Amino acid sequence: MSESPISTPCVGRCSTVFGDLVCRGCKRFLHEVVDWNRYPDTQKQAVWQRLDQLLDQVMRAHVEVFAPQRLAEALQSHRLDGSGRPAYCQAYLLISRVQRLGSLAACGISLLPAFADWPLPRLRDAIDDAYFVLSEAHYQRYIVPAAPAKKRP
């Protein structure tokens, strides 16, 4: 058993209390939010892995992390812990939690050309929306039980 518990992905903006099957805050599924504290570490790690894979995909469509060391230093200077997470997930942590970053390039991040002139709040919202859509699609594809096939006479 690990010495420190696996942290929750919760970001304090839970929408499952309003009936969403996928949380708009952390992107976990309703049953994962409800049962998190009962999950063994292996199941918690599997949830984190899925969330990181989806977020990585969304982030790569918006930004490039060209200097991971600079990104790590920026996270540290803002007292954010991205240890053990993929670089693009670390970039999301920085972009989503820090209101005024100054230069993204100083943090080892550049915007892809299609987003180069976007203000940071708009970028954050677009990334968050795309991340939610991808999480919801994953839920629909892999979690929602298929309707039983009708028997032919």
> Per-residue DSSP letters for 71-140?
HHHHHHHTT---TTS-HHHHHHHHHHH-S--S-TGGGTEEE-GGGTT--HHHHHHHHHHHHHHHHHHHHH
Residue boundaries of the structural domains of the chain? 9-41, 50-140
In tens, the pLDDT along 72-104 reads 999 999 999 999 999 999 999 999 999 888 899
Does residue 31 surpass a pLDDT of 70?
Answer: yes
Residue 2 has pLDDT above 50, yes or no: no
pLDDT at 30 over 70: yes
Read off the pLDDT of residues 33-55 as tens digits, 9 standing for 90 and up. Answer: 999 999 999 999 999 999 999 99
pTM over 0.85: yes
Q: What is the pLDDT of residue 111?
A: 97
Q: What is the predicted pLDDT for the residue at 147?
A: 57
